[in-house]
Amino acid sequence: MNRLSAVGVLLGALVLPVLQGCLPVLAASAATGGAMAAVDRRSLGTQTDDETTEWKASARATEQFGDRAHLNFTSYNRKVLITGEVASLEMKTEVESLVASLPLVQGVYNEVTVGPPTSLTTRSNDAYLTTRVKARFVDSGKFNPVRVKVVTEAGVVYLLGLVTQSEADSAVQVARTTSGVVKVVTLMEIISPAKAREFDGSAPRSDTPPAGSSLSGG
């Protein structure tokens, strides 16, 4: 065996156990993601479209505004929530137009504020509040927490999801009573209990939008 071959065998012996150890972790991650996708009341196609929209919005905003704005984009059921801070009302309007022009976007919630970007401390606190609200969703046991998406910006909690009125009321109550939350904005789409049972009892759905859905604002 020449020197290069020996080195190759040695590297293989060292790397293989590491890769083998990673496989269960990767498998578990894939399984968790698949399980959450199956529980989600959006169709698999819509979930994919939402992720693509978020990526495109972020990329185009960065290209157009650079570091002149701090922006976050959350797409749920083809409706996009924009949060963050911009330097002017004109820029706020430009951001909304940019997002509304993206393919598949069916609505925009422009919650951007005009002012300086939030500090890293504020953003860290927002991440903590999001985690805290989600944990309290689980503790409440009143609805499946996977069905409500939580976004926090400067202490304001935004709730998105395809939920029944009862689920929406429970989510709002939990969020409003979470320490540190300044305000709760509900952007959840309300569906009937019958439609919820239909979604929950079926296999992953096609891209048929929920009939008779409505928006709950507050």
pLDDT, averaged across the chain: 84
Torsion of CA 159, 161, 165, 169, to 10 degrees: -30
Q: Are residues 178 and 197 in the same domain?
A: yes
Would you place residue 37 in the very low, low, confident or very high pLDDT band (cuts 50, 70, 90)? low
Q: Long-range contacts of range 33-41, CB-CB < 8 Å, 24 or more positions apart?
A: 36/146, 37/204, 38/204, 39/144, 39/146, 39/147, 40/146, 40/147, 41/147, 41/161, 41/162, 41/191, 41/196, 41/199, 41/200, 41/210
Q: What is the pLDDT of residues 98-142, one digit of tens each?
A: 999 999 999 999 999 999 999 999 999 999 999 999 999 999 999
Residues 161 and 206 in one domain: yes
Whether 195 has a pLDDT exceeding 70, the answer reads yes
User: Are 22 and 102 contained in the same domain?
Assistant: no
> Structure pTM?
0.77
pLDDT score of 14 = 41
Residues 65 and 30 in one domain: no
* CATH (domain of 169): 3.30.1340.30
Structural domain of residue 180, as residue ranges? 120-215
Whether residues 146 and 108 fall in one domain: no
Among residues 114, 142, 160, which one ends one of the domains? 114
Residue ending a domain, choose from 114, 131, 148:
114
**pLDDT reported for residue 4:** 45
Claim to verify: residue 124 and residue 211 sit in the same structural domain? yes
- Tell me, yes or no, whether 48 and 19 share the same domain: no
Share of the chain above pLDDT 70, in %: 75
Chosen domain end from 79, 98, 114: 114
Residue 61 has pLDDT above 80, yes or no: yes
* 49 lies in the same domain as 2: no
Q: Is residue 107 located within the same domain as residue 173?
A: no
Of the pLDDT bands very low, low, confident and very high (cuts 50, 70, 90), residue 202 is: low
- N-term to C-term CA, the chain: 73
In terms of domains, do 93 and 149 share one? Answer: no
Mean pLDDT in residue range 38-43: 88
Q: What pLDDT is stored for residue 201 in this prediction?
A: 83
In whole angstroms, how far apart are CA 121 and each of 22, 54, 61, 130, 175? 34, 24, 23, 14, 21
The predicted model gives 14-37 an average pLDDT of: 47
Give yes or no: residues 107 and 55 share one domain: yes
Do 52 and 33 fall within a single domain?
Answer: no
User: What is the number of domains present in the chain?
Assistant: 3
Structure tokens at 42: 């959006």
